[in-house]
Structure 1
Amino acid sequence: MLTKLIVLLVGLVIIGFIVWWFFGKHEAAEVSADVSNDAQSIDVEVNGGYSPETVVLKQGIPATLNFTRKDKSSCLDRVVFSDFGINRALPVNETEEIKIDTTKPGEYQWACGMDMFHGKLIIK
């Protein structure tokens, strides 16, 4: 009887964690790019996801996102900005500079090559 109760409780905890993981509201780090010499850039680390997940850029100032992939999984070996027509390979432990057109304000998404991990780009 005690064993069944323990199994039931462990199962409920696992189900609760899964629900929280997939449906819970998670805080995403939001970082504004540094602007200097009429250009802006921001570093994004790729390691089990993107850090920061949300990047804020100023409209009309040339921008570069510097992606550095630490994660060796094949899922994160590409970054795709479908709104900008960008689909770029991310070599492990190398920085890949991606130029972003900041002429149009709005919110844009980026994702890994398998569309499992996402980030958000806000131009304002």
Structure 2
Amino acid sequence: MNLTNILVLFGGLIVVSSIAWFFWGPRKSGIRAAVTSSGYQEAMILVKGGYTPDVIIVQHGKPVRLNFRREETAACSEMVVLDQFGKSARLPTGEIVPVEFLPEQPGEYDFACQMGMLRGKVIVE
């Protein structure tokens, strides 16, 4: 092996390691929903190639309002489904759509697009 082959091999290993870290590395812990004067725990979620933030932390027994703003036109992101809370909503592009629910039990609850490709999580403490 000459020097060029060694450099290409190490460069390839670095690229593969970076991709693996991006997809399977540790996730962010999420953001805590802010409590508004109306008593809702509220968070704004941007829908653009995924949900940002994709993990929302709330307290049980207090109402939650997740405000979704869709900034893309992909068919997959047209709807958000919070199956365990029995909620879903259409997300028109450029509009803020609130989804309200009352988490009664602590746990982790998923939300996703109707195809299940975009995913997020509500952590109820």
Q: Given the superposition, is the C-alpha separation of residues 63 and 27 from structure 1 closer, same or farther in structure 2, using an over 3 Å criterion?
A: closer
Q: Given the superposition, is the C-alpha separation of residues 18 and 38 from structure 1 closer, same or farther in structure 2, using an over 3 Å criterion?
A: closer
Q: Given the superposition, is the C-alpha separation of residues 76 and 63 from structure 1 closer, same or farther in structure 2, using an over 3 Å criterion?
A: same
After TM superposition, the structure 1 stretch with the greater mean CA deviation from structure 2, 52-61 or 1-10, is 1-10
Task: Give the TM-score normalised by the residue count of structure 2.
Answer: 0.79
> Is 1:115 paired with 2:116?
yes
CA distance in 1, matches of 2:51, 2:90: 15
Runs of 4+ in 1 over 6 A off after TM superposition: none
3-state secondary structure, aligned to 2:76? helix
Give the C-alpha shift of residue 123 in structure 1: 2.4
Task: Give the TM-score normalised by the residue count of structure 1.
Answer: 0.80
CA distance in 2, matches of 1:28, 1:49: 16
Whether contact under 8 Å (2:33, 2:42) holds in the other structure is no
Q: Given the superposition, is the C-alpha separation of residues 29 and 38 from structure 1 closer, same or farther in structure 2, using an over 3 Å criterion?
A: closer
> Aligned residues, how many?
124
RMSD (CA atoms): 2.2
Q: What stretches of structure 2 of length at least 5 have no aligned partner?
A: none
Match of 2:36 in 1: 35
